[in-house]
Chain A
């Protein structure tokens, strides 16, 4: 399971957009790098990421090797009640990762 971190504000207000920040540990190998023996390191990237709150998808992304290693994404979401932010992602080898955090909604 891939390692990831998620951050949301300590409290969020109903109807007010807030920022969700994600950081995923992944080398995002481009396929262009070579190791010390001159062999090309095969491409390996996180290509899909999605965020759900209360089972409903609120954000998603398709990523490629043009994303920096250990991808970082911040986006906005607005809610009308309590819930848990769940983020899931997967790479081109089928490895998956998930991280979640509850929302403190006022």
Chain B
């Protein structure tokens, strides 16, 4: 049997490794928060994250509306499809990176640093236009390899505590760790206002905090591994309705 035969024989395995398993029943992170935090997230006025939506709306009107018109129409459903493979950029990107690339291509280009206030504002505003819609990411074609990488990371023990994501968020969700109720680890309500940060942050900031939690080296913002993990988490949460900006403790 030639090497080529073996390569061809095993090549289909990643594609048939099965669709990403989902926790049952599927529960958004907000269900694991206290009543006060739930009320705060549901408060369309008082939700602190709405300040970023307000700012994002102003930025949109100033820089984006000339091409993209009314965000409620043009951006509806967009956030639920990210991360996704972007043909122009030649790689899988999350929504923040896509907005950033668009801003750089703008007739009056704007440089938006990752995790900067203007980018968070735009990202939150755009994500908000998909509130209530289910996560639905594409994982075929060029995204398949990135999904596989995300899955590897999710199941890989990491850090000084030597813990993998699955051990908390699949095996132990709903149980209490120190003062926290472990959630299923879904990306549905991000970007979110975290009471601990006293500000709004991206999903990548939250994932970095997870790495910190297991005492692992933090990947940089924009690291391909973080995007891969975001894609895996999105596929794992497919069908879950998003509700940004979230509020978390």
Contacts and interface: CB of A to CB of B under 8 A. Distances in A.
Interface in A59-106: 68-70, 72
Interface of B: 45-46, 48, 50-51, 54-55, 193, 198-199
A23 B45 contact: yes
Nearest to A6: B45
Interface of A: 3, 5, 7, 21, 23, 25, 27-28, 68-70, 72
A23 B46 contact: yes
A27 B50 CA distance: 15
Given A27-B198, A27-B199, A72 B51 contact: no
B198 A69 contact: yes
Contacts of A7: 45
A5 to B, nearest CB: 6
A3 B45 contact: no
A79 B5 CA distance: 84
B165 to A, nearest CB: 24
Contacts of A21: 45-46
A23 B193 CA distance: 14
The 5 closest A-B pairs by CB, nearest first: A69-B198, A25-B51, A70-B48, A7-B45, A72-B46
B199 A5 contact: no
Contacts of A70: 48, 51, 193, 198-199
A33 to B, nearest CB: 9
A3 B52 CA distance: 9
B50 A5 contact: yes
Nearest to A28: B198
Given A23-B50, A69-B48, 4 more contacts: A5-B51, A21-B45, A25-B55, A68-B198
Given A68-B198, A69-B198, A23 B48 contact: yes
A72 B46 CA distance: 7
Contacts of A23: 45-46, 48, 50-51
Nearest to A69: B198
24 contacts: A3-B51, A3-B54, A5-B45, A5-B51, A5-B54, A7-B45, A23-B45, A23-B46, A23-B48, A23-B50, A23-B51, A27-B198, A27-B199, A28-B198, A68-B198, A69-B48, A69-B198, A69-B199, A70-B48, A70-B51, A70-B193, A70-B198, A70-B199, A72-B48
